[in-house]
Structure 1
Amino acid sequence: MKFRDILNSAGSNLWHNKGRTLLTIIAVLIGSLTISITLGINTGVNDYLHKQIGNVGNTEQMIISPQYSAGDGTGPQKYSTKKSSQNADGMMTKKDVEKIKRTKGIKNVKAMKDDNVEYAQGKSKTKYVINAQTTLGIKYDLFVGKQVATSGNKSEILLTKEMAKAFGYKKVRKILGKKINLVVISPVTKKKSTITAKVVGIRNESMVNSGQSVYSHGLSEKIVAANQDGLPKALKDRYAEVVATPVGKSDAAVAKAEKALSKKGYDAQTLKEAVKQLFQTFNAATGVLIIFGAIALIAASFGVINTLYMSVRDRTREIGLMKALGLGSGKVFSIFSCEAILIGLIGSLLGLISAMGLGQLLNKAAASSFLKGIDGFVLVQFNWSSSLLIVGIICLITFLAGTLPARRAAKLDPITALRYE
């Protein structure tokens, strides 16, 4: 008997008791559906989070700040030259920057000053508060346009869609190339400075750094200079944070650099580490749902065992006849094993197709409700590799479940089987 004959025999024998087989396939379908839709959500969320941390941006970039443990329960700290009241607010001085630059394991150290803007104005002339940051050199997820300059003196800005609309552009694409005014008021001289910035891109809305516009390096420098007008030199040389890049990209190299900075009294964290906990949270949540799917598959595997045991009992005389005609135990085992695999294959494929259909409905519902306005976020996504893996694992589970009844069928004595009533 060839493999083709074994497969045909298994396929036809599977439907001797349609009701029992259908119920078993439905049980497998439920497990497959649960796991498929859960992995689809996991893929969708992780894909979106990867976009928001810059896709191919420098996620190893470190953000460095002074260590200050006022909330650790140890009470007020004693004064030292390293920890004074002056730097308790998180600001750093030139000495801090020089000390950080001398730390082994990091490069491209850049000190960032406070770049506060009083308000911003577009063609509508209405004054708006603007929430923005200096570019960190990563590639931001853009709806349209290009990235701002990370060096030089160009005054460029990335806006959010809301800001573009507020400035009087219902079709946000039309603001590209236009200029807006940023007004800075010096806290010392009260001098009002108007800085013109060219809009070069529009950011996609996101859950990471939501609502923040981005200044180019040159624009940030002009804003800082206007803020510091009239300040004593000692107060000008204060920095909100310092960014640097580890020399090596491996986790060990990053950890070594962080340890070296910690010994000097600084906390450091990479962008990758900052979002690591977010990834872990979503993965843990989807992991729990996968466990429920696995429980459903375990229950389905017992259904497979029951279905095939009943099939062996119902077809005992048929098995005896096949063995009496010369069919070996291995062939009999193969027939029942193929039946188990077919149950897994049909159930998993139907579950996968159902999950894709349900995923489409969930995506439409999410886009019109809790994900409304968040571009680039497809809640449920499927890929071929994970889909084929699900089908393969389920077929393996049903095959293993079917080995017990298949083994029993293979061991039947043909004479005893023929006499079975």
Structure 2
Amino acid sequence: MSILDLIYLVRGNLWRRKTRVLMTLGGVLIGSTTIILLVALGLGMQKNMTESIGKIGDLTTMTVQVPPECTLPPQQRPQQCKNAILNDGLIEKIRKTPQVRGVAAQVFLKGSPTYLRFQNMETNVVVMGVEPALLPSLGYPLGRGELKISANQVVVGPKVAEYMFDLRKNQPVTPDLDLLGAWVDLNIQRTSNREEADRLVQNEVRRLRVQVAGVLAETGGQSDYVIYYPINEVERWNRWLMGRPIRREVDGYDQIVVKMADTRSSASLDAALTSAGYSISTARKIIEQFNRFFMSLQLMLGGIGGVALLISAFGIGNTMIMAIYERTREIGLLKSLGAKNGDIFKLFLAEAAVLGLLGGILGAGLAVGLGELANHSPSNWFSQFNGLMSPTGTGIGGMVEVAILVIPEWLVIFAIAFTTLTGALAGIYPALRAASMQPLDALRHE
């Protein structure tokens, strides 16, 4: 039996039983549509989450810190923390690593707290010290102005002045302030205990007047709320705040920021530093953790859809077994005309596989159509909450449409191939049963 003969017989046999075939195709269609839509839902959730996290930070930038137990005083640190120090030696080792584009130590101003004052408004801020010449190499996106810091110039995050307190009206305000080029005051407060009769707590405040030279672009990460200032100036103020000299070879820096050439080299350095006892934070690691979660979610959702397709497989098997009873004399006639057992087996197996193939194609088409309808529908409720979910905090007023269902080409091809294979597997038993019939018994069948 040639391929053309097989195609001709399959088309004719399926066309003769249109109602039954359509009902069987309906079951396969539902199963394949369910698989595609459920997996597409998981892919859509993964895509939206990955894009949101990717906006929080550069995937090639990592922050190196020491574990919390290693921040205790030297005499209280565990044994494994003795070598986990963020000092200049570690910085030089990282700088010599291939694919490193920039590395710089960072130190927090340890005021308790530090206040930013502009006109009659005030808010508490985080001041971070960094080497001025290295700031441009760390990948911080500049929104406006210049990426330049000095003893009387700072670069601020776009949300530094988001929550201000009006000292005149004695109430909080959230003004839309443009601090670029403005002179602001940083009030640095030191709290000390003085032994007297009633143990008086004394607060000392120093005022530092600086000009805002640049404003970073909004990322949704830590840099949105930080004021960047030269590290030597922060070190000078920290000595005053702590009342003692700072030994970086012992105390270490607060953190080290590393800018890598690509994500692959970033992952390699991440693994090396983690094995050395350091704590690494990067947007890439968060994305990897979510990818593992969503992979498990997609397998679970695909399994649920697979149950629906399994039910349709029983429908295909039932259809083919019924076809055997109805076509027993036809099978006997084919064998009497010279058809071999293998030809009968291929005929019934092909019919079952074609049922799976057609059902998969129809289901894929329906799934793609429903996906487009869901993604572009005005009632896309994911769009309504996108502002709340967005790391940039744009709010509901900045609604944009997001993809609820992501249906890549490989998913469509996989679904069609899977339904075809399911149909073929469901048709193996009926095909074997048809092929094993004796010609004379089949011809005598009423």
Pair in the same fold by TM > 0.5: yes
In the other structure, the counterpart of 2:414 is: 389
Q: Does 1:101 align with 2:109?
A: no
In the other structure, the counterpart of 2:393 is: none
Check conservation: 2:356, 2:423, Cα contact below 8 A: yes
Q: Percent identity, aligned pairs only? A: 22
**Of 108, 113, 118, which residue of structure 1 is paired with 2:107?**
113
Instruction: Return the offset for 1:380.
Output: 1.4
RMSD, aligned α-carbons:
4.7
The 1:2–1:415 alpha-carbon spacing in structure 2 relative to 1, beyond 3 Å, is same
In the other structure, the counterpart of 2:195 is: none
Q: Does 1:312 align with 2:327?
A: no
* Mapping for residues 228-247 of structure 1, pairs under 5 Å: 229=237, 231-232=239-240, 234=245, 239-244=253-258
Q: Does 1:221 align with 2:258?
A: no
The 1:274–1:420 alpha-carbon spacing in structure 2 relative to 1, beyond 3 Å, is same
In the other structure, the counterpart of 1:323 is: 335
Instruction: Return the offset for 1:384.
Output: 1.0
Check conservation: 1:109, 1:245, Cα contact below 8 A: yes
Q: Does 1:415 align with 2:440?
A: yes
Instruction: Return the offset for 1:348.
Output: 1.7
Q: Does 1:249 align with 2:260?
A: no
The 1:322–1:202 alpha-carbon spacing in structure 2 relative to 1, beyond 3 Å, is same
In the other structure, the counterpart of 1:291 is: 303
Q: Does 1:401 align with 2:412?
A: no
Residues 346-378 of structure 1: CA deviation (Å, up to 9, x unaligned): 222222223223333443423344335645742
Q: Which moved more, 1:34-43 or 1:18-27?
A: 18-27
Check conservation: 1:60, 1:245, Cα contact below 8 A: yes
Instruction: Return the offset for 1:146.
Output: 6.7
**Of 378, 381, 387, which residue of structure 2 is paired with 1:366?**
381
The 1:61–1:222 alpha-carbon spacing in structure 2 relative to 1, beyond 3 Å, is closer
Counting matched residue pairs gives: 381
- Structure 2 CA distance for aligned equivalents of residues 230 and 113 of structure 1: 9
The 1:137–1:222 alpha-carbon spacing in structure 2 relative to 1, beyond 3 Å, is closer
In the other structure, the counterpart of 1:190 is: 206
Check conservation: 2:146, 2:214, Cα contact below 8 A: no
The 1:186–1:34 alpha-carbon spacing in structure 2 relative to 1, beyond 3 Å, is same
Please tell me the residue identity of whatever aligns with 1:331: D
Check conservation: 1:182, 1:196, Cα contact below 8 A: yes
Instruction: Return the offset for 1:15.
Output: 4.2
- Structure 1 CA distance for aligned equivalents of residues 9 and 372 of structure 2: 37
Instruction: Return the offset for 1:418.
Output: 1.6
Check conservation: 2:382, 2:401, Cα contact below 8 A: no
In the other structure, the counterpart of 1:74 is: none
- Structure 1 CA distance for aligned equivalents of residues 284 and 265 of structure 2: 11
- Structure 2 CA distance for aligned equivalents of residues 103 and 82 of structure 1: 27
Check conservation: 1:14, 1:339, Cα contact below 8 A: yes
Q: Does 1:40 align with 2:27?
A: no
In the other structure, the counterpart of 1:172 is: none
Instruction: Return the offset for 1:292.
Output: 0.8
Instruction: Return the offset for 1:416.
Output: 1.9
* Mapping for residues 169-184 of structure 1, pairs under 5 Å: 184=186
Please tell me the residue identity of whatever aligns with 2:245: A
Instruction: Return the offset for 1:309.
Output: 1.0
Secondary structure of 1:186's match?
Answer: strand
Q: Which moved more, 1:342-351 or 1:228-237?
A: 228-237
Instruction: Return the offset for 1:28.
Output: 1.9
**Of 32, 56, 77, which residue of structure 2 is paired with 1:83?**
77
In the other structure, the counterpart of 1:258 is: 274
Secondary structure of 2:63's match?
Answer: strand
The 1:27–1:152 alpha-carbon spacing in structure 2 relative to 1, beyond 3 Å, is farther
Unaligned residue ranges in structure 2 (runs of 5+): 163-173, 191-204, 391-399
The 1:9–1:230 alpha-carbon spacing in structure 2 relative to 1, beyond 3 Å, is closer
Instruction: Return the offset for 1:34.
Output: 2.2
Q: Which moved more, 1:318-327 or 1:399-408?
A: 318-327
Residues 130-166 of structure 1: CA deviation (Å, up to 9, x unaligned): 89999894588xxxx9799888879766747x96xx7
Residues 234-293 of structure 1: CA deviation (Å, up to 9, x unaligned): 36967432234789838676434322x21xxx4335543333322222322232111111
Unaligned residue ranges in structure 1 (runs of 5+): 71-76, 170-174
Q: Does 1:20 align with 2:20?
A: yes
The 1:129–1:69 alpha-carbon spacing in structure 2 relative to 1, beyond 3 Å, is closer
The 1:240–1:406 alpha-carbon spacing in structure 2 relative to 1, beyond 3 Å, is same
In the other structure, the counterpart of 1:279 is: 291
